[in-house]
Amino acid sequence: MANITAAAIKELREKTNVGMMECKKALTEADGDMEKAIVILRERGMAVAAKKAGRIAAEGLVWPMIAADGTAVIIEVNCETDFAAKSDNFGNFVKGLAEIVAAKNPADVDALMELEYADGITVAAELLSKVQTIGENIKIRRFFRFAPEAGVVSVMYNHHLAGKIGVIVRLAVSEGLESNEEVLTFGKNVCMNVAAYNPSTSTVTPFPLRDLKPRRRSSRLRSSTRASPKRSLKRSLPAVSASSTSRSAASTRATSLT
């Protein structure tokens, strides 16, 4: 049997982000062969992911970013708990995915899963590794990518950096104003309003009557429950859907501010 050194365990951990004990077990099973140990850990990760696949992933992180070339990306990745969503391990994974989307322009989530994440490891393999190390079901839910255009500036906003609401606004501007501070400030203010009110349109076209009815009902609900704070609180905070992390948070604010 090969002698498993602390240096070998550390190297395997750095390559896979798996815990020290799991790395030691894999190296022992692989008789000290680093590549074989990596394969063993990946297979175990697939088994762990399969067990967790049916568990609800209602928390997560929404991450907007603007690349150096002006490409705008916003991505949502879900996990099971708020604690995991706030961890550096999960956050760095989501940020890395956003950078890949910006650089590689995958058609959808399935195409993203096939791309290289780092050092020859695919996004799918890295996702399995995160499921194993974090210990939760993790799903890449959706992303949007906007290529840079002449005369268009993209501005992003991440609400309180909490990762629940992310916004990207694209503004049509005159040539030479793409980096203007007043334009960027205006764009950020628009983003903040989108985060707060979750508008259904960006135009000034009058709303159809059917679109105004929900707002009227919300106004009546608030005024009719104003005398009872406990009742008002229950009615103005709808349950957050597991499948709409960012939109649900914005909808809650829209209901309470209408």
Q: Which residues contact 129 (CB under 8 A, 6 or more apart)?
A: 16, 17, 18, 41, 42, 45, 121
pLDDT tens by residue, 16-60:
766 778 788 888 888 888 888 878 777 776 555 566 666 778 899
Whether 113 and 122 have beta carbons less than 8 Å apart is answered as: yes
pLDDT at 173: 92
Residue 215 pLDDT > 70: no
pTM over cut 0.85: no
The strand pairing partners of 244, in sequence order, are none
Task: Please report which confidence band the pLDDT of residue 67 belongs to, taking 50, 70 and 90 as the band edges.
Answer: very high
Alpha helices in 5-75 (DSSP H): 6-16, 20-29, 34-52
Residue 226 pLDDT > 60: no
Residue with tokens 């799991």: 22
Query: What is the arithmetic mean of pLDDT over 122-143?
Result: 88
- Left (φ > 0), alpha (ψ -120 to 50) or beta: where does 60 sit? left
Query: What is the arithmetic mean of pLDDT over 97-104?
Result: 97
- Which residue, 240, 65, 249, is CA-closest to 158? 65
Locate 95 and state its tokens: 């940020």
